[in-house]
Amino acid sequence: MISSPLHITLLQSALYWENPTANLNQFSEQLQKLPAGAEVVVLPEMFSTGFSMQPQKMAETMEGPTVAWMRTTAQKKRIILAGSVMIAEGENFFNRFIWMQPNGVCYQYDKRHLFAYAGEDKHYTAGDKRVIVSVKGWKILLQICYDLRFPVWARQSTMNEPEYDVILYVANWPERRSLAWKTLLQARAIENQSYVIGVNRVGEDGNGIAHSGDSRIIDPMGQILFENSQTPMMYSHHLDETLLQETRQKLPFLKDADAFQLLNFSA
C-alpha cells in the first residue's frame, strides 16, 4: 500500500563518450545540488559511457568502479540511485538497469529488447524477465529505451490489482525519432493507468548522433506534468498517490482488459 508521495529526481545530461571517469565525476558534481528530501534519483541509459557498442573494451563487472560508485553515492546521499550500465558476466555483456538502494542492496533488470538497428543485439545478451521494484509502497517497473516500442512487455497483466504504479524508462533516444519517444511514453501511461517517467540524455554522442533529451513525467491520464528538451537539467517532482488511486477507481479500465500471461524467454 502506498504510504506517501514519492520524491523523484531526473538528471538529463550530456555524456562523455566512452569515458566513465569523466561521467562519474560530472554526476558526482551534479548530485551535490540535490534538493532536500530527494528519494529516487534517475540517470540516463549507459550513463557512464554513452550508448556504446564496445562492451569488450568498456564493460565492467558488478564489482567494478561504476557500480561501486553507485553504491557509495546512494549510501552517502541516502537515496536510491538508478540508471543503466554495460555489465560483463563471463563471456556475456548486458545493458543493465541498476536500482541501487542506500542500504547497499541492488536490484537489476537486463534490457529485453536490443536495438538491432544499431547492432546492440550483436554485442549484448537480452534479458528474459521483467523487474518491478518497490519503495514506500510504490511499485516501479524498470525499462530501458527500445523497450518502449513493445507495449506487451510493459502491459499490466493483472486485471483486479495493478502490478505497478510507475513505469521508469532510461534512454539514449536520438533526436530524429523524438516524436516516437514522446508519443509512446504517453501511450504507456494511458493504457496502463500508471505514471510514466522517461529520462533521456542530451548532446551528440561519439557516432555523431544528436539527442534532444525530452525527458518527461506523465500522469496516469496521459497528462504531461514535466518535460524538458535540449538542455542539461535536474528536476524533482513528487508523485501523487491520490491522483493515481482516484484515476483507477473512477475509471476502472484495467478490469476490462484482455487476460494474458507473459512467458519467460530464453536469453
Which residue out of 111, 120, 182, 241 is catalytically annotated? Answer: 111
Concerning whether 45 is annotated as a catalytic residue, the answer is yes
C-alpha–C-alpha distance, residues 130 and 237, integer Å: 25
**Of 39, 60, 106, 145, catalytic:** 145
Give the number of other Cβ atoms within 10 Å of residue 41's Cβ: 26
DSSP structure string for 126-171: PP-S--EEEETTEEEEEEEGGGGG-HHHH----SSS-S-SEEEEE-
227 phi, psi to nearest 5 deg: -155, 150
CA atoms within 13 A on the CB side of 101: 10
CA angle (130 as vertex; 129, 132 as ends), nearest 5: 140
| H or E segment and range at residue 246 | helix 241-250
Question: One of 39, 45, 60, 175 is an active-site residue; which one?
Answer: 45
Three-state DSSP at 229 gives strand
Cα distances (Å, whole numbers) of residue 180 to 136, 147, 173, 185: 32, 12, 10, 8
140: how many CB neighbours lie within 10 A of its CB? 26
Q: What's the grid cell of residue 151?
A: 507495449
106 carries an active-site annotation? no
Q: Residue 102: is it exposed, middle or buried by C-beta count within 10 angstroms (0-12/13-18/19+)?
A: middle
Annotated active-site residue 39? The verdict is no
Distance between CA atoms of residues 234 and 13, nearest Å: 8
Could you give the residue numbers annotated as active site? 45, 111, 145
